[in-house]
Amino acid sequence: MLRNKKIVLGVSGGIAAYKAAALTSKLVQAGAEVKVIMTENALRFIGSTTFQALSRQPVYTDTFHEQDARYIQHIDVADWADLFLIAPATANSIGKLANGIADDMLSTTLLATEAPVYIAPAMNVHMYSHPSVIENMKKLDHWGFRFIEPGEGYLACGYVGKGRLEAPETIVSLLEKETIKSQVLKGKKVLITAGPTREKIDPVRYFTNPSTGKMGYALARQAQRLGAEVTLVSGPVSLEAPSGVKKIAVESAEEMYERVAERFEVSDIVIKSAAVADYRPKQVFDQKMKKSPGDYSVEMERTRDILQHLGDNKSTQYLVGFAAETNDAEEYGRDKLRRKNLDAIVINNVSEAGSGFGHDTNQSIYLTKEGDRVEFPMMSKDDMAEKVLLEIARAVAGDAE
């Protein structure tokens, strides 16, 4: 899967730089074209001649040493790349990338590239767990950068723990798998809903629910990574849109219905993970209601059932719903799958610890109209999003055959 792939390998200044030589060799053996960029500190650990011999390509070490006067070097290399890999990635190189610092050939090229970037950290165990490093990695992950987790073992500093650069052959294998994954939804238009809706009573009060949008945003992020063109229709949440995803912000159930209906016909896959209000106040006041003695009751009316509308009107779309239940979850989920004319449903028991609204983890049961059943144990919402999307991709590919 790496044959003829153009890979830029960024080598930063850590003792694990010597492993990058073996990594270069294995990438070339896998059929990739490899160009190496080394930082000044990487050159303290290993010479550029080694990488030039292994890659049979020029090695870049200085932003201002233009090897071909016809091109601006760091822009040319950034545009050339199909894939960008930083291995080893030190705390310093991660920090630079996370904060937009461009003061050498590697950091300037990283900011200029539009290729997928994979980061393989390598550092002391305490550095790897430092809050600033963790925050920088979280920021980069949210922006769409991919991490290749370091291994555990004896480190050059004498400590034993997490921080050792993953083995070169493992990195190559992971890149091959990621290359396959990046094609599974290529050419597909995916429409995802996320978050809660707000149903106003007056300008300062509304009914809503505890949905944070984390599951829907994870689905959008992973769908984009799998090659899809993703549109995310989101209720009010505190999350930023994943990199490469078109976000449409809405507030009420009616607004969400309108934005989804506009895009439904041109979508290939629709995943409705938003927690849409079932009811809204029948009367909405233009001015703030003043407090008065005694009780107050609000007459409610049904909102439009978005999922039912989609199920009744779908043609070629693959439609997936979510069911957040507190009891008899699978039974209610099966019923919803049938009633709403869905192709599949993800069932969450939100009463279980670590599952449902607000958590970074989830567990669920995935059912299809054909009767397939997959149980996902507790895992991160990003991991679950990927697994759900791979199930969808398999079904869609099967329908196309």
Query: In a 10 Å sphere around its CB, with 0-12 CB exposed, 13-18 middle and 19+ buried, how is residue 294 labelled?
Result: exposed
CA atoms of 141 and 98, how far apart (whole Å): 10
Q: Which residues of 349-360 are buried (b: 16+ CB within 10 A; e: fewer)?
A: bbeeeebbbebe
Estimate the crossing angle of helix 48-55 against helix 17-29, to 10 degrees: 10
Q: Is 195 helix (H, G, I), strand (E, B) or coil?
A: coil
CB 37 within 8 A of CB 43: no
CA atoms of 97 and 18, how far apart (whole Å): 22
Find, among 114, 259, 264, the residue nearest to 189 by Cα: 264
CA atoms of 392 and 96, how far apart (whole Å): 37
Indicate if 157 belongs to the active site. yes
- Beta-strand ranges (E) seen in 13-62 are 33-38, 59-60
Q: Which residue has the tokens 């937009």?
A: 100
Active-site choice (157, 261, 374, 390)? 157
CB 380 within 8 A of CB 354: no
Q: Which residues of 325-345 are buried (b: 16+ CB within 10 A; e: fewer)?
A: beeebeebbbebbeebbbbbb
- DSSP 8-class letter at 68: S
Known catalytic residues? 157
